Every structure is written in C-alpha cells, then in structure tokens.
Amino acid sequence: GAVVSQHPSRVICKSGTSVKIECRSLDFQATTMFWYRQFPKKSLMLMATSNEGSKATYEQGVEKDKFLINHASLTLSTLTVTSAHPEDSSFYICSAREPIQETQYFGPGTRLLVL
C-alpha cells in the first residue's frame, strides 16, 4: 500500500513554544491531505483538510490561527501548533489521499506533550 510518513514521531516542548509536524506521502502525490487529532481510547477527530496550493479548510471549533497548515507541495503538508499549551498535548495523525483509488492512507502519528 501507499506510504505516508510523519516527523517527528514524538515531541516534548515547553508551554508557549511552537511545534511543526511534517507529513509526507512517500510514493505518490497527494493533492489533499488531512490532519486529525486523537485522544486516548477515542476515535480520530478531523481538524482540517489541506489542499495543495490553497488554504486549508478547518473543521468547526478548530482555531486556524492556532493550528497553521501549509501544503506547499504534492508530497508535503505541515501542521504548526503555535504557542502550545498543555491542553494541546495529543496524538496528531495526518493522512494523504492516494489519487487513483482516492483512499486515505495514514501516517504513523506524532505524539505531542506540552509541559
């Protein structure tokens, strides 16, 4: 199947700092990528849809100035958590839409801990 990578896999930061998470589709080009957040023992919550070359579409209740998304190329989308606070601690997962079957393939996730 298609491969999606995320970096870093884990990050610990101090409150108030910004953290950037990268999502890459390794063997296909993805015009659309998605960013999810997952709390322990909970399902995935869609945060935003990222389209290459245009602004991301955010889900209701997700602050676009807090969670900055950039999709500058067909293989890379980034999520920046700005001025992170402890309540932003979570598991962030991206997915990329494979263009032929149009199915979503997920990255391995990034565990963020804000102290």
Partner 1 sequence: QKEVEQDPGPLSVPEGAIVSLNCTYSNSAFQYFMWYRQYSRKGPELLMYTYSSGNKEDGRFTAQVDKSSKYISLFIRDSQPSDSATYLCACEETSGSRLTFGEGTQLTVNP
Rule CB under 8 A: which residues touch partner 1?
1, 4, 6, 32, 34, 41-44, 46, 49, 91, 93, 95, 97, 101-109, 111
Give the C-alpha separation, 105 to 103, whole Å: 7
**Tokens (6 digits) for 13:** 């930061």
| Shortest CB 102 distance to partner 1, Å | 3
Give the C-alpha separation, 75 to 43, whole Å: 26
Q: Pick between residue 43 and residue 54 the one whose CB is nearest to partner 1.
A: 43
CA distances to 13, 29, 39, 40 from 71, in Å: 24, 12, 24, 27
**Tokens (6 digits) for 86:** 């402890």
| Shortest CB 16 distance to partner 1, Å | 26
Q: Pick between residue 88 and residue 92 the one whose CB is nearest to partner 1.
A: 92
Q: Pick between residue 83 and residue 101 the one whose CB is nearest to partner 1.
A: 101
